[in-house]
A and B are shown apart, each in its own frame.
Chain A
Amino acid sequence: DAGITQSPRHKVTETGTPVTLRCHQTENHRYMYWYRQDPGHGLRLIHYSYGVKDTDKGEVSDGYSVSRSKTEDFLLTLESATSSQTSVYFCAIRLDRDGNTIYFGEGSWLTVV
């Protein structure tokens, strides 16, 4: 258990509304990631962070922003949700003591109607 908590776990929202997903870790590891998972696409990186206020884009970053004001929290924001952003979102961390492997949270199911 890598001590990752995602919230909310399930959310239904309307098109055009802002949505923020939160990822919280208990061990203060440096690297944190947001992925989305869709059928046929596997896991695709949205954004990642390598420290407080240090973030970078991933493969599918359009329409998403992130913030990391504290080591333990990594927020993913959909500024204006669209139906194409209906997905399962996974937060992940890379352990500082094991630089190669990432560990995932339980996921946040988001439906945009």
Chain B
Amino acid sequence: AQSVTQLGSHVSVSEGALVLLRCNYSSSVPPYLFWYVQYPNQGLQLLLKYTSAATLVKGINGFEAEFKKSETSFHLTKPSAHMSDAAEYFCAVSLLGNEKLTFGTGTRLTIIP
């Protein structure tokens, strides 16, 4: 069975600083990997996805993530944090041909002015 682990339930960064949210996956077959963002009282919105093409994936709002098979990681980064990035971020995994998503426990990102 596939799973993801998100390291750090809370991350705080200063406005303008680098954002790094960590995600490690476990899967017996090549996975599809996703990052979703959830703003307060809203549903989840897809930030980006990896589906076995380019290992560096660019998403919306300036976010990107790199698939590293050797490290079983799919960390989310953004060079310069903005106040509007404050939200909860979820890493998720699915398998080829089955879009059932298995989510991590989430990381709450706080931006310090």
Partners in one complex: no
B interface, CB within 8 angstroms of A: none
